[in-house]
Amino acid sequence: MPAAQIFKFVYIILVFNLCISPSVAHAEKPNPDVYRSNIQELKKNLQSHPNDPNLHFNLANNYWKLGQYKKSIKHYKETLKVQPFDAEAHTGIGFAYGKIGQTNNAIHHYHKAL
């Protein structure tokens, strides 16, 4: 991908994040106990349905909300094994990679999300 396209793509992501930031700032404070409870329930369900992409996707989202980005990446990857063109999973894993400083991986998955 040419540098100009990468710059444009990163610029769009930054503008998008700036647009949603004010609404997120005024949102109700998340309750980590809810995410932990969700994770426990999803893990139980995963025992009987280990390849369910929806369970993995929801686990990834809950881990992400707790700031457990490496665990979220693991479950986004499991989602993408079954649904390789899932734009939401590519976006989520891109955000998670961005949070742990893996910019190239983040950009790769943002591009796949398009």
CATH number at residue 56: 1.25.40.10
Whether 14 is covered by a domain: the verdict is no
Residue 109 in tokens: 């998955």
Check: CB of residue 42 under 8 Å from CB of residue 59.
yes
Residue 113 in tokens: 């999300």
Picking from 9, 4, 12, the residue whose alpha carbon sits closest to that of residue 111 is: 9
Whether 75 is covered by a domain: the verdict is yes
Size (the chain), residues:
114
Tally of domains within the chain: 1
Whether 57 is covered by a domain: the verdict is yes
Question: Which residues span the domain enclosing 68?
Answer: 31-113
Question: H or E element: which one contains 14?
Answer: helix 3-25
Check: CB of residue 94 under 8 Å from CB of residue 107.
yes
Per-residue pLDDT of the chain (114 residues; tens, 9 = 90+): 566 666 666 656 665 665 555 444 445 567 899 999 999 999 999 999 999 999 999 999 999 999 999 999 999 999 999 999 999 999 999 999 999 999 999 999 989 988
Whether 79 is covered by a domain: the verdict is yes
Residue 1 in tokens: 């991908």
Which pLDDT score, from 0 to 100, does residue 7 have?
Answer: 61
Whether 4 is covered by a domain: the verdict is no
